[in-house]
Amino acid sequence: MSNKKHFKLTVNGEEQEFLAEPRELLIHTLRERLRQTGPHIGCETSHCGACTVTMNGKSVKACTVFVAQADGADITTIEGLGNPDSLHVLQEAFKEHHGLQCGFCTPGMITRASKLLEENPTPTEEEVRFGMAGNICRCTGYQNIVKSILAAASEMNAAKEAAE
């Protein structure tokens, strides 16, 4: 198609430049163009949160953002949160507390939780449940997800205190 435009994104710290149709959805840009397949597509209507990424410091559902809206943005996906040698505290906590089953919602869930704990480092259980209500899980019933996030918060706070 001839209506391709030039776009620039920073994804997980790396600058990316490419030509794309402006109507391309950010989730497809990330998954198919840039091969960051951690964020998933579950509903295409912003309800399930499987596609959650962090864009310019905010949790965003990448299935309902056009790449044109994301031009110039700084984006973090699950792939940018930790690496095999040094997992994010939340990645460890989800493993430890059985916070996942099929794993399909997990990247979006952890990405959202990482933002939630930045917004509110000491959430109550109720605040976690409310703050995660944009992310649907069909397997776990959320009990262990909530447990994982609260455990990660405690650990991050303990580490912060130890450092101070």
Which residues in this chain contact other proteins in the complex, by CB under 8 A?
A: 1, 21, 23-24, 28, 31-32, 35-45, 47-48, 50, 77-79, 82-84, 87, 91, 94-96, 98, 100-107, 110, 128-130, 132-146
Q: State both tokens at 138.
A: 């069909």
d(CA 162, CA 37): 36
Side chain identity at residue 80, one-letter code = G
| CB closer to other proteins, 40 vs 73 | 40
* Choice between 1 and 163, CB closer to other proteins: 1
Q: Please, which residue, 74 or 136, has the CB nearer to other proteins? A: 136
Residues 6+ apart with CB under 8 A from 31: 37, 39, 41
To other proteins, the closest distance from the beta carbon of 91 in angstroms equals 4
Closest CB 85 distance from other proteins, rounded Å: 11
CB 53, min distance to other proteins, A: 11
Residue 157 CB, nearest distance to other proteins (Å)?
A: 21
Residues sharing a CB contact under 8 Å with residue 116, sequence separation 6 or more, in sequence order: 59, 123, 128, 131, 132, 149
Alpha helices (runs of H) in the chain, residue ranges in sequence order: 26-28, 89-96, 106-119, 125-131, 143-163
Q: Between residues 69 and 163, which has the closer beta carbon with respect to other proteins?
A: 69
